[in-house]
Amino acid sequence: MIPVLYFAYGSNLDEENWALWCRRRGFEVESIEPLGRAWLPDYELVFHYQSRLRRGGALDVRPRRGTAIPGALFRVHDWAGLDAKEGVSGGYYRRISVTALTDDGRAHAAATYTVCNERVGEFVPPGPEYRHMVTRGLSRFGHDYDAFLAAAEGRPAAPAPSTIFAYGTLMQDQRSHGLLESRVRSRSGAAELAGASLVRVDWYPGLVLGGAGRVHGEVYEIDDVTIVLQELDEYEDFAGYGDGESLYRRSIVRAITNGGSMLAWTYVYLGDSSSLPRIPSGRWTDA
C-alpha cells in the first residue's frame, strides 16, 4: 500500500518551483499538501547524481546512523505529479518507504525518492539556481542549511541532533549513566518535555506521548553521536525504524531548558502502557 505522506528534502520543498513545474506540465499544484517540517532519521544528504535539468548535481539520500535530514511532510492526494517530476518512469529516481519524525516525538510512515543505483556516480556539486531553490525551501519550513551546504561541498555533515534527552536510567547518578558519561561534550542541565508522561515499566521507566503532562530529565551534548546511538539503540531495544518488535523507538523531541529549547534524541516507549503505574511528577527519581 502506498503511504499518503511524502517526505521532501530537496527542490520540492520550494513552493515556487513546485507550482511552476505543475503549471508547465499540467499537474495540480494542490496534489501535495504541506503539513509541516520533519526529519528523516539515519540518513544523510549526498550529491552523486548529475542532472542535466539542474545543470549540476541533484540531491539524493543514503543511510547514515545518527543524523537526521531536515525536510517536510506533505499529504499526497495524487502521486502522478511527484512521480513525473522525479522521473520515476525514466529510471532517474525511485520511490521508497521511510519513517519520518516530527519534533513532538512521533513517527510517520511516508515515502520519499532516491536516485536509482545505475545513475549514482561521483560527487557532483549543485548549480547556483538549485542551491537557491533548496535553501529557500528549507527556510520555508524553518530549517537551517548546515546539512545541505555540507553535502553541496562534498563533505559529510556533522550528525544532528548531537544531543540526548535522558529521563531515566541514563541520567546522572543513575545505574546506566556510564553509557553517556565518557562521551559528554557538555551538559545543558535540567530539561523537560511537554505533552508526555512517564510510567514505571520495571527497574526502568518509559516515556509515553500524549496528554498535558511533562517529563523531566537532562540534556547532554554528545561526542561520537553515531557510536553512542548504536550503543543506546541496543540498550533501549530499538532495532530500527519500521521494526515491529522494538520496545522503544529513537525519536526527535524538542527539549525545554532554562536557555530555551533544543532538538534532541530520546527513546519513546512502544509497549502497552495502559496497565503500568504512572509517575505523576514526571520525574524518574520520584518513582
Give the residue-averaged pLDDT of 227-240.
95
pLDDT at residue 53, as a whole number: 85
Beta carbons within 10 angstroms of residue 267's beta carbon: 27
Give the residue-averaged pLDDT of 57-66.
95
Give the residue-averaged pLDDT of 122-149.
96
pLDDT digits (tens, 9 = 90+) for 160-183: 899 999 999 999 999 999 999 888
- pLDDT of residue 57 exceeding 90, the answer is yes
- pLDDT of residue 3 exceeding 70, the answer is no
Give the residue-averaged pLDDT of 133-152.
96
- Residue 104 structural domain: 5-152
Distance between CA atoms of 6 and 87, rounded to whole angstroms?
16
- pLDDT of residue 215 exceeding 90, the answer is yes
For all residues of the chain together, what is the average pLDDT? 94
Task: Examine the domain organization and report whether 72 and 42 are in the same domain.
Answer: yes
Residues near 114 by beta carbon (within 8 Å), at least 6 away in sequence: 60, 61, 62, 93, 94, 96
Overall number of domains in the chain = 2
Instruction: Give residue 32's identity as a one-letter amino acid code.
Output: I
Task: Examine the domain organization and report whether 117 and 244 are in the same domain.
Answer: no
pLDDT at residue 31, as a whole number: 96
- Is residue 257 in a domain? yes
pLDDT digits (tens, 9 = 90+) for 67-114: 999 999 999 999 999 999 999 999 999 999 999 999 999 999 999 999
Residues near 54 by beta carbon (within 8 Å), at least 6 away in sequence: 11, 126, 127, 129, 130
Q: Which of 119, 152, 185 is the last residue of a domain?
A: 152
For the entire predicted model, the pTM comes to: 0.95
pLDDT at residue 1, as a whole number: 57
pLDDT at residue 40, as a whole number: 98
Task: Examine the domain organization and report whether 9 and 147 are in the same domain.
Answer: yes
What angle, rounded to 10 degrees, do the helices at 128-140 and 15-25 form? 110
Task: Examine the domain organization and report whether 187 and 145 are in the same domain.
Answer: no
Task: Examine the domain organization and report whether 60 and 129 are in the same domain.
Answer: yes
pLDDT at residue 224, as a whole number: 87
pLDDT at residue 146, as a whole number: 94
pLDDT digits (tens, 9 = 90+) for 251-270: 999 999 988 899 999 999 99
Beta carbons within 10 angstroms of residue 174's beta carbon: 16
CA distances to 45, 126, 144, 146, 171 from 150, in Å: 9, 12, 12, 6, 33
Please, which pLDDT band fits residue 55 given cuts at 50, 70 and 90?
Answer: confident
Instruction: Give residue 165's identity as a one-letter amino acid code.
Output: F
Beta carbons within 10 angstroms of residue 264's beta carbon: 26
Give the residue-averaged pLDDT of 50-73.
93
- Is residue 158 in a domain? no
Task: Examine the domain organization and report whether 125 and 45 are in the same domain.
Answer: yes
Shortest CA distance to 218 belongs to which of 186, 175, 249? 186
pLDDT at residue 144, as a whole number: 94
- Is residue 133 in a domain? yes
Task: Examine the domain organization and report whether 96 and 192 are in the same domain.
Answer: no
- Is residue 157 in a domain? no
